[in-house]
Structure formats: structure tokens, C-alpha cells
Amino acid sequence: MTVTPDSHVLLSPAQMARVAEDSSVAKATNRPLKSFLLGLTAGGYIALGFVFFTTTQVGAQDMPWGVARLLGGLVFSTGIVLVVLTGAELFTSSTLTLTARASGRITWTQLLRNWGVVYVANFIGALVIAALVYLAGTWQSADGGWGAVVLDTAQAKVSHPFLEALVLGILCNLMVCLAVWAAYSGRTTTDKILALTLPIALFVSAGFEHSVANMFMIPLGILIKGQAGPEFWSSTGLAPADFADLTWGSFLVDNLLPVTLGNIVGGGVMVGIMYWTIFRYLERPRPEALTTGC
């Protein structure tokens, strides 16, 4: 039975768990085309959040490091807020469909199909925004400072050892799915925005790794590295050789693979299965409670 509480009353943790499960069932049983289109928008929104982040980091070396990172994290949360408020489908939060599978309300085929469709759609949506940002010349802003932030950020992301990238992915989606889960308690737009913002700001400011965000930032860095002219390199004081590790191979193998696996563990297991166990499995009537005796 779907939870339909009073619209003016905050959901309890147990009700949130039921809403999360119902939402997961709806996602996994959507028509694939609908999931794909919603996935395109989500990939684009997360990319736009990173555009906002990048803009705030241009010249931020003159600020205390933590303050600059906090600012970047706060503005990046715009992307997640747009995803939640518009009903877009984001792979990282779709890992919560493990709750519906644990309850037996969807099959493994439905779960994996949803993950695959949304993942590919997120990737395409992020790449579209990367291409548009490149063609718009945004990366040349501030005498190339904007593009320099992209290159430095992308280079750092592909430089993590596999295990480190995996764990950073776990930590990231722990925060993303906690944010989405907390937003289920909100009854107004303001409630949801407040529930989402600080957990997202935490993961971004701490440098945790989000697979869909990386689908935008690293390809854009690769594009700038390969296409920027001499005037860009001279104005930024950088050189293509500084970003030798920034390749498609390093992106896919050294970053996207471990980060994606980490995102599944952090969101699907550490949030989805944990809260499903607490509020769904452990609250089932126990057999002895159903028996009567004299």
C-alpha cells in the first residue's frame, strides 16, 4: 500500500522508507523510453551543477581552501535539487532500487535494466552539456581561467588509485542518497531544498567522487586539452604535457569504473539496504507474534 500521509505533516523515518521503496518500484517499472528521457535531463542537470561549481572556483585560490570548497559544494547542489524537483532519474540515486528488490517487488532484470538505461542516458546528457559549454567558449572565460579549473579538477580525478577512487565513490553516494532519502520527508519545495543542500555540499567540498558529475567534467577536460590553441596555454601558464594522464582510457578505467562501483555500494547498500533492513524488514510481524496460545 502506498503511503499518503497528510500533506502538512512530515513523514516519519518508517514512512520515508516506504516512500523510498514505492519510488524505487515506480522507477524500475517505468517504460524504458521514459527512464531514458528522464535520465538525459538528470545528466544535464548534474553537469550544469558542475558548471556552477567551476565558475565559483575561478580565482578562488585567493580564498581559504575550505571556504572555496564550501562555496563550490553549495552551488553544485543546484544540480541535485533540479533532479529531485523535476523528477529526473539519476543513476546514483537509482541505486536505491535495491530496496524494492529486497522486498521482492521488482526482479533483478527490472533493476538492472533501469540502472543500465539511466546510466547511459545520464552519460549522454552530461556529454551534451560538455559539448555545449565547449562550443559556447565558456572554457575561455577569465583569460582561460575557467578552462584551467576544469583541467586541474579532471586531472586530479583520474589520478586516484583504483581503491581510493572506489572509496571516494562510496562516500559520495552515501551522502547523495542520504540527501535524497531525507528529502522524502519534506512536504514543501523549501523542505526538500534544505534537506538536499548540505549533504551534497559536504560530498563536493570534501572531494568525494560522483560518477555522473565525472561524465561531464573529465570529458570536458579531455576536449579542452585536445582542442585548446596556443593562446589558451600561454594565458593560463599551463601546457598539454601537464595533463598527460587525462585520456579516455584513464577516465573510463581509472575513474569511472571504480567510482561507479563505489556509488552502488555507498547508495544502494549503505543507505538503501541499511534503512530497508531497519524500517521494513525488522518491522515485519514476527511469526511468534502471529500465533495465539493459551
Contacts 24+ apart (CB under 8 A), 228-232: 228/139, 228/144, 228/147, 232/140, 232/144, 232/147
Mean pLDDT across 223-241: 95
The Cβ of residue 14 has, within 10 Å, a number of other Cβ atoms equal to 14
pLDDT value of position 5: 47
pLDDT, one tens digit per residue, over 157-202 is: 999 999 999 999 999 999 999 999 999 988 899 999 999 999 999 9
Sequence-ordered alpha helix ranges (H) in the chain: 13-28, 32-57, 65-86, 91-94, 98-102, 108-135, 145-158, 162-183, 189-205, 211-227, 230-236, 248-249, 257-263, 274-276, 287-290
Q: What is the pLDDT of residues 107-130, one digit of tens each?
A: 999 999 999 999 999 999 999 999
Cα separation of 56 and 287, whole Å? 57
Has residue 290 got a pLDDT over 60?
no
Instruction: Give me the pLDDT at residue 287, please.
Output: 62
Per-residue pLDDT, 262: 98
Question: Tens digit of pLDDT for each residue in 127-161?
Answer: 999 999 999 999 999 999 999 999 999 999 999 99
Residue 95 has pLDDT above 50, yes or no: yes
Distance CA 138, CA 147 (A): 8
User: Whole-model pTM?
Assistant: 0.92
Computed over every residue of the chain, the mean pLDDT equals 93
One-letter amino acid at 202 equals: L
Can you give the pLDDT at residue 205? 96
**What is the separation of C-alpha 111 from the centre of its chain, rounded to a whole number of angstroms?**
18
How many Cα atoms sit within 13 Å of 238 on the Cβ side?
Answer: 23
Please report the pLDDT score of residue 108 as a whole number. Answer: 97
Is residue 70 exposed (0-12), middle (13-18) or buried (19+ Cβ within 10 Å)? middle
Share of the chain above pLDDT 90, in %: 86
